Amino acid sequence: MIELGDKVVDKVTGLEGVACARLVGLYEATQLRVHPVTLKDGDMRAAIWLEEARCEKAQGERLAGFVGVRGRP
């Protein structure tokens, strides 16, 4: 299972990013909000929601030390 903070790769598009949120719906597939780690034309790319089934853990270290809202852990 992918944990928040894991680096992930979208198996369909190859997009790499960090899983930063999980959405579990009553009648929907579980989704992950992924913040891309790459830039697009020098600018930050927007985070997107992807079905967890199309994501896999990427090679490398897990992102640790998430900071909560307004700097609270």
CA torsion angle 28 19 14 25 (round to 10): 0
pTM for this structure? Answer: 0.75
Task: Read off the pLDDT of residues 3-21 as tens digits, 9 standing for 90 and up.
Answer: 888 999 999 999 889 999 9
pLDDT > 90: percent of the chain: 44
Tell me, what DSSP letter sits at residue 26?
Answer: S
Q: Residue 39 — pLDDT band, cuts 50, 70, 90?
A: low
